Chains A and B, each alone.
Chain A
Amino acid sequence: MKPPPFDYHGPATLGEALDVLAEAGPDGKVLAGGQSLIPLLNMRLAAPAHIVDVNRVPGLDGIEAGPPGVRVGALARHAAVERSPEAAAALPLLRQALRLVAHPVIRNRGTVVGSLVHADPSAEMPAVLALLGGSVRLASRGGEREVPAAEFFTGPMESALRPGELAVSAFFPALPARSGTAFHEVARRHGDYAVAGVAAAVTLDEDLRVAAARVACVSVGPVPVVVDVTAACGPRPAASADWEAAAAAVRDRVEPEGDIHATADYRRHLTGVLAVRALRDAAAAAHGEEA
C-alpha cells in the first residue's frame, strides 16, 4: 500500500530540524533510513502528521572510534558502521551484530541510531547497546541529554525519546583488555528478525579466568534482557567454565512470549542454547583465538 498523507519537512541544518520537531511535538516523526518507518507507513500502521527528514542535515553521519569506544552519528548507515575498520577494531561486536541485521541492501539505508530509537525487542543493535551499557544522545531545542541504555529502552517499540527530540548519536563503550564478544541468533529465514538471539561479552583476568560474563537476549522480553552470568561461570579458567550453569541462569531470567513463529518454551530453550554458544565463542575471542 501507499503511505498516508503527511507534511514533509527537509531541514538543512540541525537547528532547523530541532525547530521543526519542537513545533510538530507529538505529531512529528523523524525520518532517518526509513527502513522501519516507511514499511509502517506503507502498511498504514503509522500516520504521523509531520515527517522530518534529517537526511540532508550535515555532520550527523560520523563514526568516531577510539579507546573509550565508538560514537555513531544519527545518519551513519548500518553498512558504514559494519565496514568501518576502526569501529571493528575498537568493538568487534558491532560488526558481529550488524551482519545479522536484515540484508545488505536494507543496511545501505538503515541507520544504527534509527534502529535504537525504533526499539524493536527482536533487533540486534538495542541488545548490543544494552550489553555494553552504552547511551543515546538526545537533542532538542532546549538542549541535550545522554540517556543510558538501561533507561532508554522502555518497552516494545518504545524508547525514552520525547516529542521534539532528535537522537543525534549513540555511544558504544569499548570493553576492557582480554575481552571477547559474540552474537548468535536463529531466524526463520536468513535476514529476518531473530526468533531468539544472544550477544555475549566475556572478560578474563590476568590468569585467564572468567572475570566478567554478560549476555543480552533478543526476542524474549519487552526490551533487550541483560543477564550478568559472572557468578554462574566464574572465576574458573574459561576452558572449564560452566557455561551450562550460565545458560540455566539466562533461561530463568528471560520472559519469552509465544507467537506464530515460536512457542514461549521453544524461545526459552533456544536462548539457552545460543547463550552457551555465544559465551563459549566470546571466551575464545577473549583468549585471542578465532571463534
Chain B
Amino acid sequence: MNETRHRVTLTVNGVLHEAEVPGRRLLSDCLRHDLGLTGTHVGCEHGVCGACTVLLDGEPVRSCLTFAVTADGHEITTVEGLARGGGEPSPVQRAFTECHALQCGFCTPGFLCTVTAFLRDNPAPSEEEALEAVAGNLCRCTGYQNILKAVHRAAELQAEEDR
C-alpha cells in the first residue's frame, strides 16, 4: 500500500532532524526507527507504562500517544539528551545510579525524562509529590522504593549544583 508521506522537522536534543513519515507514525517509532534514537523505550503503546515518555517543548508526554506529524516543528528531548556536555550524567541520572534505582533498565528512560521535568518545576518535592510524579510509570524490577529515593537524591544533587 502506498501511504502518503509527510515531511517532518524535529529538533531532537538540540539537533535538527528531518524525516518522511506516514501520518500514522508514532513519535516513539519515528525517534527509534527513522532517527535511530533507540534510548526511548516502547512497552505498551497504550499510554500506561510510561517507558516512552519524552519531553515535547519541555513537557513530559507519551511518545506512543503522539503522532510524529503532530510534533512537526517542535523540540523534543529524549533520554539521550539529558546528559550534560561531554557526556557527564545529569543530577537525575547520577541519583538513579547512586540509589540503584534500576535493574533491567527498560523503564529507566521514561522515569529519567519524567523526573527531570518534575524537578525542574518542583525542585524540593514532598514525599507525596514525588510519589505522584512517578506514579504514571511502571517498573517491573525495582519495587519503586529506590526510584523514590533517587528522586529525592536528585533534588539534593541539583540543589548542591545550584549553590
Q: Which residues of chain A have a CB within 8 Å of any CB of chain B?
A: 1-8, 10, 31, 34-35, 38-39, 41-43, 51, 53, 55, 79, 102-106, 108-109, 190-191
Contacts and interface: CB of A to CB of B under 8 A. Distances in A.
Given A2-B24, A3-B26, A42-B64, A106 B70 contact: no
Contacts, number: 89
A43 B45 CA distance: 8
A8 B6 contact: yes
A97 B83 CA distance: 36
A41 B47 CA distance: 12
B50 A53 contact: no
Contacts of A38: 26, 47, 64-67
B45 A109 contact: no
Contacts of A35: 47, 62, 65
B77 interface: no
B31 to A, nearest CB: 14
B136 interface: yes
A10 to B, nearest CB: 6
Interface of B: 1, 3-4, 6, 22-24, 26, 29, 45-47, 50, 53, 59-62, 64-67, 69-70, 72, 114, 132-133, 135-136
A122 to B, nearest CB: 15
Contacts of A10: 69-70, 72
Q: Which of A102, A103, A109 neighbours the largest number of chain B CB atoms within 10 Å of its CB?
A: A103
Given A104-B132, A104-B136, A105-B62, A34 B24 contact: no
Contacts of B69: 8, 10, 53
Contact of B53 (A6, A8, A55, A105): A105
Contacts of A3: 24, 26
Given A5-B1, A34-B66, A109-B65, A41 B24 contact: yes
Contacts of A108: 59-61
